[in-house]
Structures are given as C-alpha cells and as structure tokens.
Amino acid sequence: MQLPLGTVLPSLWERAPLQTLLLLSAILLILAQYLKKRRPHLNYPPGPPGLPIVGNFFQMDFKNPKITIQKLTREYGNIYYTYVGGYNFIMVTGLPLIKEVLVNQDNVFIDRPPFPIHFHIFQSHGLIMSNGQEWRQQRRFALMTLRNFGLGKKTLEDRIQEEARYLIEAIREEKGQPFDPHFQINNAVSNIICSITFGHRFDYHDSHFRELLKTLDDTTVLLGSWECQDDIHYSFNEENLVFCTLDLFLAGTETTSTTLRWALLYMALYPEIQGKIQAEIDSVIGQSRQPTMADKEILPYTNAAVHEVQRMGDIIPFNVIRVATVDTKVAGYDVPKGTLLMTNLTALHRDPKEWATPETFNPEHFLENGQFKKRESFLPFSIGKRVCLGEQLARAELFLFFTCLLQKFTFQAPPNTQLSLDFRVGMTVSPASYQICAIPRVM
C-alpha cells in the first residue's frame, strides 16, 4: 500500500521528532551524493547551466516543454547535455552523431540505465531493461527461439496471413459502420506473439484475453516495482522466462498495433494515396489470393507507403534510453560513465534536408523511378547491437496486415466527420482514439 508522504511525515514527526530529523538528513545526504555528478575538470557538451540538486528542472517550461526543448537544440546544436531529476543526460541529433553513439560506440552505450525506486536499485530482468551477461544470454535465446518458430520462414508468414483473415472477418462484421479499430488490431497483433510464446491464438471474443490486454498497462507498473527484485546469476529460470515473454508481449504488441492504427488513419486522410495502393494490389495480386511476403518486391508503392506510415507515425521519438557504461567522448566532448543517452529520431524522420515534404504524408519519399528506395535517415527500429529485437517480425506483420486490409477494404472518415492527427503520448506516440468506416471492396 502506498501512503502519501504528506500524511506519513507529520505522524512520524509527532511520534519521534529526532529520529525523523535524522531520517530526513540521511535521505538528503544520499540525494546530494547521488546528484553530485558533474566533475569540474571535464569538457562537457554544451547545455544550459543547471542549478545544484534540481538541475535544469526549473528551467523547463512545463506548460510548453516542446518550445524549451527546441530552444535547447537551436542554441546548443547536435549534442546537448543537461541534468533533470538527478539524471545527467545527453540528447544526440543528426545521422552522423547518432551512428557514432549507436554503432561506432555500441559497446559503450549498450546498457539500459537502472532506475532507483524506493532507494533501491532496481535489478532488471527480461530483455528490454536487462544488461550484461543476462541481456546477452536472453537476447540470443529470444532471437534463436523466434527463428526456430519460423521468423523468416514460411510458418510465421502463414500464421500472420491466417490472423489477417480473422482480422478481415472481424472488421467485416462492422458492416461499413463507424467503429474504433483499436481493439481488433490490438488483438490481431498480440495473437502473433501469443502463438509464438504460448503456442496458440485467442479468439477476438475471448473475455479472458480481453482482460489480459486491458491489464497490460498494470503489468508495466508491476515490472517497474522493486518487489520484482531477486538474485540471479544464471539467467535461465522460470521467472526470467516469464519476464522475457512479457517483454516480447509489451514491446511487440503496442508498437505494431499503434503503427497499424496510424496506417488506417493516413489512408482515410489521403484517399488518393489509398487508391494508388489498391490499384497496385489489384493489378499485381488481384482478389483471388492473399498477399505474401514475396509480393513486397513487386508492390513498391505499397511497401513505400508502409515505410512512410512509420516515418510520419514516429512512435518512439527519442528512442529507448541507453546509458554510458564507461567514460567516453562524443563529438570531442567528455561524456562520463552513467550519463543517459537519448537520440532524437523525430529530428531524423522530419529532417528538411532529407525529405522532400517532411511534414506531409508522401510515399514518394521511399521511391526512385518507381522502385523502392531504402533511406538511411529512417531508423524507427533504432540501429546497432541493441536494435529492436523484433524488427523482422514487425516488418512482416506491418506489410502483411496492411496489404491484406487494403485488398479487402477502403478506409474512410465517418459521414460528416473530420479525422485528425491528434495524438496521445504513452508508451508510444499513438493516434487519439478515432472512429473509421471500413467499406468492403468486393462482396
């Protein structure tokens, strides 16, 4: 049970003022020690001058953090250093420097930071937050398992195609009426991870599974609590298997499902582009068979559109946080061990020097003479040794679900409704919930 500090402190004070004073001093000392991180002789990257203890906290404009941050990048360039809430961190912008930290120095910035909770250092398990030997063992095992279960083989593709058929049926049941596609898409996407990790899929009407999907958020809280701590040397045990399964579930469901929800929204907002994709699907595949991964090569416009959804959706704007494991230098500046690293993927995905129309949805960004063109400034899955573990799976899911859906439906705004690109910030940047109509293309 959590008691608010405001009620605990006065009652402690009444009972034992001296002990409480000592306790408070101890807490302050620990805090001061923890925050005393800036070493005067080092050449830190530029950044706003911070205040002791609270750092740049008071310089943040909380009503409009975006503007403050834009000012920081403008004033201090492609790398700035700041400290907020006891953490020193650097924000790195621009492809050359991002490659420097995530690829060239991937052994330096390989770890995830530990976060102190209840003054304990949270011992992290699983895949996303683990480090060192444990992370290496579990990542290798997870990748091997994904491959054994058919990643990059026909079996997994079959599974996604089968799930796409269930998804199409579920959407057909909406009979072209306005509906929020969140639930069906989430269920379809999580079923892919479920069939890999648990060996079976769940029906869209399964109430237990609905409950599970609803409690995913609570799971995030549980994962972050120090009660999950234990002492592991050899990381293969039942508990860690549960952590890793949960991590695959957490990392693999919301991300892919959010991207697909952006995709449907962009289709309804850009009917001409949707029409071009459908024309390509009709001429290459037709209606008599389901799209396969092999079709990706011969559907360049559709493939480009999927990439463009990811570029515009930009669902993980500052990447997943890393930490410097040793003292290092970036762009000539000293970056001490323990500094947190964020990389600005938004800046990359909206760079006016890289993209013809950076703020507008435009599949041409990924096309050259009608052929698909890879772009270096496109890193939604990050890069380097700790790159997204599910990239290949996510790409297969996005392409197949998207193509199968557009083969069968036209997505459009409900009558007299204006759809918007309003977003919500949670684990990912996702579209604000919306209603859409899925008009069947053939009866």
Using CB under 6 A as the binding rule, whether residue 344 contacts ligand NAG is answered as: yes
Q: Which residue has the tokens 């959010």?
A: 258
Using CB under 6 A as the binding rule, whether residue 347 contacts ligand NAG is answered as: yes
Using CB under 6 A as the binding rule, whether residue 73 contacts ligand NAG is answered as: yes
Using CB under 6 A as the binding rule, whether residue 91 contacts ligand NAG is answered as: yes
Q: CB burial class (10 A; 0-12, 13-18, 19+) of residue 345?
A: buried
Residues that bind ligand HEM (CB under 6 A): 127-128, 139, 247-248, 251-252, 255-256, 259, 315-316, 319-320, 380-382, 386-390, 393-394
On whether the CB atoms of residues 374 and 311 are closer than 8 A, the answer is no
What does 69 interact with, of ligand NAG, ligand HEM, none (CB < 5 to 8 A by kind)? Answer: ligand NAG
User: Quick check: helix, strand or coil at residue 328?
Assistant: strand
Q: Which two tokens stand for residue 396?
A: 């297969």
Q: Which of 11, 25, 70, 433 binds ligand NAG (CB under 6 A)?
A: 70
User: What interhelical angle do 216-223 and 207-214 show, nearest 10?
Assistant: 40
| Choice between 97 and 389, CB closer to ligand HEM | 389
Q: How far is the CB of 136 from ligand HEM (least distance, A)?
A: 9
Q: How far is the CB of 259 from ligand HEM (least distance, A)?
A: 4
| Residue whose C-beta lies closest to ligand NAG | 347
Q: Which two tokens stand for residue 67?
A: 């503007």
84-122 in b/e burial notation, b at 16+ Cβ within 10 A? Answer: eeebbbbbbbbbebbbbbbeebbebbbbbbeeeeeeeeb
| Choice between 91 and 248, CB closer to ligand NAG | 91
Using CB under 6 A as the binding rule, whether residue 339 contacts ligand NAG is answered as: no
Using CB under 6 A as the binding rule, whether residue 20 contacts ligand NAG is answered as: no
Please give the torsion angle defined by the CA atoms of residues 67, 70, 75 and 79, in that order, rounded to the nearest 10 degrees: 140
Using CB under 6 A as the binding rule, whether residue 220 contacts ligand NAG is answered as: no
Q: Which of 59, 131, 328, 346 binds ligand NAG (CB under 6 A)?
A: 346
Best CA proximity match to 101, nearest among 398, 299, 362, 323: 323
Q: Which amino acid is at 372?
A: F
| Choice between 93 and 407, CB closer to ligand NAG | 93
What does 113 interact with, of ligand HEM, ligand NAG, none (CB < 5 to 8 A by kind)? Answer: none
Stretch of 69-77, 129-137, 172-180, 386-394 contacting ligand NAG, by CB under 6 A: 69-77
Q: CB burial class (10 A; 0-12, 13-18, 19+) of residue 176?
A: middle
Strand blocks (E) in 294-428:
322-323, 328-330, 333-335, 340-343, 367-368, 371-372, 409-412, 423-425
| Choice between 395 and 408, CB closer to ligand HEM | 395
Using CB under 6 A as the binding rule, whether residue 69 contacts ligand NAG is answered as: yes
User: Quick check: helix, strand or coil at residue 368?
Assistant: strand
Q: How far is the CB of 20 from ligand HEM (least distance, A)?
A: 41
Phi, psi of 97 (to 5 degrees): -75, -35
| Choice between 44 and 87, CB closer to ligand HEM | 87
Q: List residues binding ligand NAG (CB under 6 A).
A: 69-70, 73, 91, 93, 344, 346-347, 350
